[in-house]
Structure 1
Amino acid sequence: MSEYLSIPTPAGSFDALAAGPEDGRPVLLLHGFPEAAVQWEHQVAVLGREGYRAVAPDQRGYSPGVRPEDVADYAIEHLVDDVVAMADALGWGRFDLVGHDWGGAVAWWTADKHPERLRSLTSVATPHPGALADALRNDEDQATRSQYMRDWRSRDTEKRMLAGNAEALRRMYEWKVPRDRVEDYLRRLSEPGALTAALNWYRAGRPAERIGKVGVPALYVWGTEDVAFGSTAALDTEKWVTGPYEFQMLEDVTHWVPEEVPEAFTALLLEFLGRH
């Protein structure tokens, strides 16, 4: 049975979905754009039943209690600090970290900056940022796929995305996310300031530092039909992991893995956690 939490941190209070015994092995799950913690509803419930303590927060900008107005407050270092602050508030020393889309990027950066805090890392869809940076420089296909990241920095993006009953946002989910879940996301993102806060993750610009190779045990799950991330960065991610590494390629699956194939993904996650 899932429950709702408020996680107090110096930045504000994060809303979260949780399940499992308080003393269970801790797992933190980070959502992507344009989603929320509820994207992990299936995984949180299953992990909880298996004895893990699973917590999925609405991240910075998505939680009304942590919605700063300054674009600079959405830089990657603040997003990583949020992960550590939430773990501290939950009383977790080491924990397993799972992320999808932007949550995956934050997970990779957290593994780089705080490897001592992570028992393992799982990224869904998002390749290692170093592999992605190389692909953006050297692979025309990836450069084309990633053009949206620059386009969404425009100040008229909110208006375009919400026009016509949020038609542009609806199309993003590619009809792979359950309809009622999409309506939930759109309701949340239509709240005053919510979509701007979510888009500020893109507007905050590049990290000040380069990311290094990751040494914690890592699982990377990628769907072959992912429109955002192509095969070049996906296959090159292995070069950026020095610890135990597993790559799971899901044929005919799109970007929305946790919600498109929840059972298959959760099985992969449980198997991976069981090995580490």
Structure 2
Amino acid sequence: MTEHLSIPTAAGTFDAIAAGPADGRPVLLLHGFPEAAICWEYQVAALGKRGFRAVAPDQRGYSPGVRPQAPAEYGMGELVGDVLAIADELGWHRFDLVGHDWGAAVGWWTAAEHPARLRTLTAVSTPHPKALAAALRTDEDQQLRSAYMTEFRQTSTERRMLANNAEALRRIFEWRVPPSHVDEYVRRLSEPGALTAALNWYRAGRPSGEVGKVEVPTLYVWSTEDVALGSTAALDTENWVTGAYSFQMLEDVTHWIPEEVPEVLTALLVEHLS
């Protein structure tokens, strides 16, 4: 049975879904743009049934209780800080961290900067930040794939995405995400200030400092039909992990792995955690 949690931190209160026994091995799952914790609904329930304590929060900007309006409040330092604050509030000294899209980017930074806090990392879709940065410098294919980020930083993006019953926002999901989830994402992001907060993840600018190599055991799952993230950075990611590393390539799957092939991802995740 999936529960709904409120997790108070100094930054504000995060909403979350959770499953599994309170004393189960803790797993924190981070969603990306433009989604919410329910993108992990299947995985949270499945992990809970297997005895893990799985918690997926609505991240900064997506939880109404943590929705600052300034882009500077969405820097990588703040986002990693949220992960640790949530874990601390849950009483988790060490935990397994799972992330998709922006959630995976936060996962990479957390693992690189705070390896003692993590048992394992699972990154879905998004490669190691240094691999992506290198691809953006040298790979024309990745440069074209990432061109949308410039558009997302424009102040007219909210109006365009929400026009005509959020037609442009809905199109992002490529008709690969359950319609009930898409409707819920649109409902939430149509709330005053919500879409601006979500887009502030892109508007905050590049993370300050250098993200290092990851030493914790890492699973990286990438799909061949990902429109935003190409093979160059995906294949280079192994060079940024010094710990045990597994790379899983999913054929004919788009960017929306957790919801498009939930059973496949859950099987890979459970195997990695085991």
TM-score, normalised relative to structure 1: 0.99
Cα shift readout 1:140-180 (whole Å, capped 9, x = no counterpart): 00000001112110000000101111111111000000111
Opposite residue 17 of structure 1, the aligned amino acid is: I
What SS does the corresponding residue of 2:187 show, helix, strand or coil? Answer: helix
1:51 is matched with 51
Deviation (angstroms), 1:70:
1.4
Cα shift readout 1:90-118 (whole Å, capped 9, x = no counterpart): 00000000000000000000001111100
- Take 1:177 and 1:259, find their aligned partners in 2: how far apart are those partners? 6
Q: How many residues align?
A: 274
1:82 is matched with 82
1:35 is matched with 35
Asked whether 1:170 is paired with 2:173, we answer no
Opposite residue 25 of structure 2, the aligned amino acid is: R
Matches for 1:131-170 after TM superposition, within 5 Å: 131-170=131-170
- Take 1:16 and 1:229, find their aligned partners in 2: how far apart are those partners? 27
Opposite residue 216 of structure 1, the aligned amino acid is: V
Unpaired runs of 5+ in structure 2?
A: none
What SS does the corresponding residue of 2:122 show, helix, strand or coil? Answer: strand
What SS does the corresponding residue of 1:173 show, helix, strand or coil? Answer: coil
1:239 is matched with 239
- Root-mean-square deviation (CA, aligned residues, Å) is 0.4
Deviation (angstroms), 1:208:
1.1
- Take 2:20 and 2:165, find their aligned partners in 1: how far apart are those partners? 37
- Take 2:273 and 2:2, find their aligned partners in 1: how far apart are those partners? 20
Matches for 1:153-232 after TM superposition, within 5 Å: 153-232=153-232
2:96 is matched with 96
- Take 1:165 and 1:272, find their aligned partners in 2: how far apart are those partners? 40
Identity %: 73
Opposite residue 11 of structure 1, the aligned amino acid is: A
- Take 1:180 and 1:63, find their aligned partners in 2: how far apart are those partners? 19
1:6 is matched with 6
TM-score, normalised relative to structure 2: 0.99
Deviation (angstroms), 1:210:
1.4
What SS does the corresponding residue of 1:209 show, helix, strand or coil? Answer: coil
Cα shift readout 1:165-201 (whole Å, capped 9, x = no counterpart): 1111111000000111100000000000000000000
- Take 1:263 and 1:173, find their aligned partners in 2: how far apart are those partners? 19
Unpaired runs of 5+ in structure 1?
A: none
- Take 2:117 and 2:6, find their aligned partners in 1: how far apart are those partners? 22
Deviation above 6 Å: which 4+ runs of structure 1?
none
- Take 2:152 and 2:210, find their aligned partners in 1: how far apart are those partners? 23
What SS does the corresponding residue of 2:273 show, helix, strand or coil? Answer: helix
- Take 2:53 and 2:155, find their aligned partners in 1: how far apart are those partners? 40
Cα shift readout 1:189-244 (whole Å, capped 9, x = no counterpart): 00000000000000000011111111010000001000010000000000000000
1:254 is matched with 254
Deviation (angstroms), 1:71:
1.0
- Take 1:262 and 1:24, find their aligned partners in 2: how far apart are those partners? 22
- Take 1:31 and 1:21, find their aligned partners in 2: how far apart are those partners? 22
1:16 is matched with 16
What SS does the corresponding residue of 1:188 show, helix, strand or coil? Answer: helix
- Take 2:48 and 2:242, find their aligned partners in 1: how far apart are those partners? 30
